[in-house]
């Protein structure tokens, strides 16, 4: 049996008028079908079979989880993640996304099949968290293939006194202490949430940060991490305790990471922010916690380096300039230190650093070194 010049397989003569077969691969369109009897006689039917274009499962960039479905699929738009559920816990939907069973150390997790860029966001609206032993969260840079398949960054959210952290989940590194086949590394604490909160996890370059109801909640720089994920897709996770309805996600969306709102040449640190954000323009250096601001002052988030060596007097204005390989330090317009570098860092950004929370800044300015 020939379809457009290619032989079919598993050909079976059912009767004088019926033959079953597996068609060969073919391009979209109609082809002739030729049947040859055992005695050599043959017949050909022109345009006897039509190939249709291959269709991929529909993908989505958002969902309100309307209706009921077990497991969660939405016409192939979701792929289940099982690395964190050794006993098979999956997501289902019932006017919200929730785990399909209760099982210790088992998490419901799914990733989207939508194509997302390397820099992206994953956002959920918290449907319901019943107790502080329940969690939900958006995932970013989920690994869809390779040795680290299912590894990801997770904003793990609960109510007050629950586990509230940004995690890196490494699916291929067992944690012998917890007895799991994966390792969960706590990267930075986050604040508690309540039902209805909108949590957006954003990955952009080596920076990961979270917005809760549109306000920056945390920020983390992966620059010094030995293990990091630069690309991937997005998804959701939940852990239910007591009842599966104790950890529900009301909706989810994904898309490209937002672009920074612009450049920032000066600041008087007016108003309050924790961490320091000012329109998505401040980021901590790798290994540093960053700053907060309040009452016209910027101070470190912890007691470590967040570097001044001379005696500091309140109200002094200090300026560091970089011209070629020459660094100059000024105090109230008078040069204090000149240093010639080896040229290792010929370009880069500007910022601030403090040691301990006792040191604060009342203003900052950056720009062309020629304008002193």
Q: What is the pLDDT of residue 310?
A: 41
Q: What is the pLDDT of residue 104?
A: 84
Q: What is the pLDDT of residue 324?
A: 82
Q: What is the pLDDT of residue 116?
A: 92
HEC sequence for the chain: CEECCEECEEEEEEECCEEEEECCCCCCEEEEEEEECCCCCEEEEEEEEEECCCCCCCCCCEECCCCEECCCCCCCCEEECCCCCCCCCCEEEECCEEECCCCCCCCEEEEECCCCCCCEEEEEEEEEECCCCCEEEEEEEECCCCCCCCCEEEEEECCCCCCCEEEEEECCCCECCCCECCEEEEEEECCCCCCCCEEEEEEECCEEEEEECCEEEEEEECCCCCCCCCCCEEEEEEECCCCHHHEEEEEEEEEECCCCCCCCCEECCCCCECCCCCCCCCCCCCCCCCEEEECCEEEECCCCECCCCCCCCCCCCEEEEEECCEEEEEECCEEEEEEECCCCCCCCCCCCCCECCCCEECCEECCCCCCC
Domains and CATH numbers, the chain: 2-51 (no CATH), 62-256 (2.60.120.560), 261-372 (no CATH)
Q: What is the pLDDT of residue 348?
A: 78
pLDDT by 10-residue block (mean), the chain, 372 residues? 84 82 81 88 90 62 95 93 92 97 91 93 98 98 95 98 98 89 95 98 94 94 92 97 97 90 66 79 72 78 53 70 80 70 77 67 69 50
pTM (predicted TM-score): 0.69
């Amino acid at each position: 049996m020939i379809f457009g010049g290619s032989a079919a397989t598993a050909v079976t003569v059912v009767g004088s008028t019926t033959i079953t077969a597996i068609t060969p691969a073919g391009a979209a369109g109609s082809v002739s079908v030729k049947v040859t009897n055992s005695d050599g006689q043959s017949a050909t039917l022109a345009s006897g079979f039509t190939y249709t274009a291959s269709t991929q499962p529909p993908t989505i960039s958002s969902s309100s989880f309307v209706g009921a479905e077990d497991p969660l699929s939405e016409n192939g738009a979701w792929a289940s993640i099982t690395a964190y559920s050794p006993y098979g816990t999956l997501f289902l939907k019932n006017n919200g996304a929730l785990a399909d069973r209760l099982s210790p150390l088992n998490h419901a997790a799914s990733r989207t099949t939508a194509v997302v860029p390397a820099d992206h966001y994953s956002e959920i609206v918290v449907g319901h968290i019943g107790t502080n032993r329940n969690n939900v969260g958006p995932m970013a840079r989920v690994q869809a293939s390779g040795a680290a398949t299912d590894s990801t960054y997770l904003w793990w959210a609960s109510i007050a006194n629950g586990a509230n952290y940004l995690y890196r989940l490494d699916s291929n590194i067992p944690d012998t202490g917890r007895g799991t086949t994966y390792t969960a590394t706590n990267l930075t604490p986050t604040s508690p949430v309540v039902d209805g909160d909108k949590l957006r996890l954003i990955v952009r370059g080596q920076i990961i940060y979270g917005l809760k109801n549109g306000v920056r909640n945390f920020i983390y720089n992966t620059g010094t991490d030995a293990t990091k994920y630069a690309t991937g897709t997005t998804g959701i996770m939940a852990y239910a305790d007591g009842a599966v309805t104790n950890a529900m996600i009301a909706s989810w969306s994904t898309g490209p990471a937002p672009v920074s709102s612009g450049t920032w040449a000066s600041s008087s640190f007016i108003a309050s922010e924790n961490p320091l954000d000012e329109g998505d323009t401040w980021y901590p250096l790798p290994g540093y916690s960053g700053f907060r601001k309040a009452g016209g002052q910027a101070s470190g988030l912890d007691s470590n380096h967040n570097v001044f060596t001379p005696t500091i007097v309140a109200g002094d204005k200090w300026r560091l300039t970089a011209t070629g390989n020459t660094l100059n330090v000024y105090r109230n317009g008078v040069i204090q230190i000149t240093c010639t570098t080896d040229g290792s860092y010929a370009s880069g950004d500007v910022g601030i650093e403090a040691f301990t929370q006792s040191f604060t800044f009342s203003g900052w300015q950056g720009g062309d070194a020629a304008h002193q």
